[in-house]
Each structure stands twice: as C-alpha cells, then as structure tokens.
Amino acid sequence: MKKGNFWRELSTPLFVQAPMEDVTDTVCRQMIARCGRPDVFFTEFTNVDGMFSEGKEIVTQRLKFTEIERPLVAQVWGANPDNFYKAAQYIKELGFDGIDINMGCPQKDVIKKGLCAALMNNRSLATDIIEAVKDGAGGLPVSVKTRIGMNTIITEDWLGFLLEHNLDALIIHGRTVKEMSQVPAHWDEIAKAVSLRARSKKDTVLIGNGDVKSREDGLEKIKESGIDGVMIGRGILENPWVFNTDEKYKNPENVSSSERLTTYAEHVRLHQETWGNTKHFDRLKKYMKMYIRDFPGSSEIRAKVAETRNAEELVLVLDKDEREDD
C-alpha cells in the first residue's frame, strides 16, 4: 500500500521527538508514547554502510519498531550513495513513514571522515546522497536534519542549498558544529529559514531544534520564529512527559514519585521483553534521570540503581521504593 506524505497530513504546530544515539530505540519510543506521544518519532542514527556489512544484524536492530510509534522516520547516515539508495529501499520495505538524512552530527570522528555535518563542505556528495535516498525511497517523504554551519554560521547559504533539493522536511539545529551544545541555540537563525523558504517558493516543512525544554517553550519558539514545529531531544531526558498535553504534566513536579518509579520499572520490563540479554544491562541505567528526579529522596534512589547488576535487581529497587512511597 502506498504511503502518503505524513508531513503534509499533520496539523501544525508539530512536536517531534529527536533521534538520540543509544537512547531512542523502540523501547524508549514506546515509553515516550505512553507518557505523551509526539507528532513524529525518529529512530536512532543508522549507518547505511553498516547495514550492508558483516555486522548488519547489530546495525539493523536500530530499525526495530512497533505500530504505536507512528509516524516513524528512520534517520540514516554514511558515506556511500549506493548504500543510501539500498538503505532507502530497505526502509520502505520495512514500512517506515519517512527517511531522514543526518547532516548535522558534530562528533569529531564522524566529521574527520567528511560525513554528516561535514557534508556542508562537500555539496556534490550531499546532492548525490539526497538524490540516492529519493530514488530508493519510492515516494516516502525525505527530510534532512542539519546545523547552521561548521565553524561559522552560514544559515542562508547552506539552508538555501538544501531547500533547492525539494525536501519534504528540513530540521534545523540552531548551532554550528563548533558550538556543539555549549551555547544557546540561535533561534534567530532558525527563523531565517522561514524567510528563505518563502523566497524560494518551496513548501518544505521546517522544524526547529535546540533548547526546547517544555511544550509551552516550544509553542513560544514556534510563534516567535514562524517555524512549523519543534524537535525535542534533551528535554525528553529531563521529562519523558514533555509532549503530554494534559494540564497535569505542564509542570514535571506534578508527576508523583510513585508514577515515575512505576514508569521506569515498565521501561525496564519492556526492555527485557524486547531485547533480552542482547543489549548490555548498563544501557538501562542511562534512563534513570529521566524518571528519578524532582522529588525528595531521588538522589538516594539513583544511588541504589547505580549499584544494581541486572534488570531483576533494578526492578526490585524500583518496586520497593514505589511501595514505600505509597
């Protein structure tokens, strides 16, 4: 069955879950959906070259998903346009709703290889990759997530280049590669993309990314910049209920310690059901600050969690403290 372009079908303003390496797997996305679903979900970063290597079984774990996570975009990165083409075909066959090309990752080892954000300096390869994904995607919407420059801000030059490629969506992180996440996001630069789109007469959906910590904050940034929506990443790690529209969840402190601990225990159990022992247990500890924060005794419980050695011990700690809270 041919999929439509979900970016066009959704009502604005849009709230989008950011792809986060080694964090936003299918289990994490399902838990975000339970806490309060965004309008769009994204996978972790998936390497197209690894998808067709000896280690493909491990790489393609990133593309595991359930129906509750729709609409879902697979984010990909890599070096070889031919592999981007094959990856896009494979992603369409799996039933994803869209494909996003990572042209924003600022990690030094990736930049040294001329990949992701470094494609700003290799426009011919960037073009080849976009065209390869479009050709392989078979009509699925194609987007790009990027930044506003390498060492200096080049918003109009770089985003203008991308808009000429008739992308279905463009996600803009309002910092340069050099800035990483060490300075406030330049939302004035993100706003420039709206003017660029108008001048180019394109209908690309524009999503802003950077320092959005709450739904209310996102709505304010959307209003001020004129952007179609916002993407939230680190805000999820501080509040998994960040997308929830219920009045109760506007203030994270309204979420009881009991609800937090119960939800974390559900996350652990779902992780075990989904992955078993195929992923290292310590990965589960990464999520503790998502749930165990902003209530009396949270630091003591985090200390207990840090000492656990397996999922069973972790669930016991969470269940015990949840009962004591009652």
CA 198/CA 193 separation, integer angstroms: 9
* Per-residue confidence (pLDDT) for residue 196, from 0 to 100: 97
* φ, ψ dihedrals at 180, nearest 5°: 50, -120
As to burial, measured by CB atoms within 10 angstroms (0-12 exposed, 13-18 middle, 19+ buried), residue 210 is buried
Residue 60 pLDDT greater than 70, yes or no:
yes
Residue type, position 74, single letter: A
* Per-residue confidence (pLDDT) for residue 134, from 0 to 100: 98
pLDDT band at 323 (very low <50, low <70, confident <90, very high): low
* Per-residue confidence (pLDDT) for residue 87, from 0 to 100: 97
Helices (H), the chain: 6-9, 26-36, 56-59, 81-94, 108-112, 123-137, 155-163, 187-200, 215-225, 234-238, 257-275, 282-285, 288-291, 298-307, 311-325
Residue 3 pLDDT greater than 70, yes or no:
no
Residue with tokens 């066009």: 8
CA 110/CA 21 separation, integer angstroms: 13
Omega before 252 within 30 of 0, i.e. cis: no
* Per-residue confidence (pLDDT) for residue 1, from 0 to 100: 39
Contact 111, 136 (CB under 8 A): no
Q: What average pLDDT does the chain have?
A: 95
Range 187-190, long-range pairs (CB < 8 A, 24+ positions): 187/211, 187/221, 187/224, 187/225, 189/148, 189/153, 189/155, 190/148, 190/225, 190/227
Residues 6 or more apart from 189 whose CB is under 8 A from it? 148, 153, 155, 172, 174
Residue 324 pLDDT greater than 70, yes or no:
no
Residue 2 pLDDT greater than 70, yes or no:
no
pLDDT by residue (tens digit) across 78-136? 999 999 999 999 999 999 999 999 999 999 999 999 999 999 999 999 999 999 999 99
Give the CA radius of gyration of the chain: 20
CA 35/CA 63 separation, integer angstroms: 22
* Per-residue confidence (pLDDT) for residue 55, from 0 to 100: 81
What is the pLDDT averaged over residues 26-40? Answer: 98
Question: Could you say which of 28, 35, 105, 116 is catalytic?
Answer: 105
* Per-residue confidence (pLDDT) for residue 321, from 0 to 100: 65
SS3 (DSSP) at 300: helix
What percent of the chain has a predicted confidence (pLDDT) above 90?
91
| pTM attached to this predicted model | 0.95
pLDDT band at 4 (very low <50, low <70, confident <90, very high): confident
CA 225/CA 151 separation, integer angstroms: 23
* Per-residue confidence (pLDDT) for residue 61, from 0 to 100: 92
Residue 326 pLDDT greater than 70, yes or no:
no
Catalytic-residue membership of 105: yes
More confident residue, 253 or 226: 226
What percent of the chain has a predicted confidence (pLDDT) above 70?
97
pLDDT band at 320 (very low <50, low <70, confident <90, very high): confident
Contact 66, 26 (CB under 8 A): yes
Beta partners for residue 76, in sequence order: 46, 101
Residue with tokens 């679903």: 37
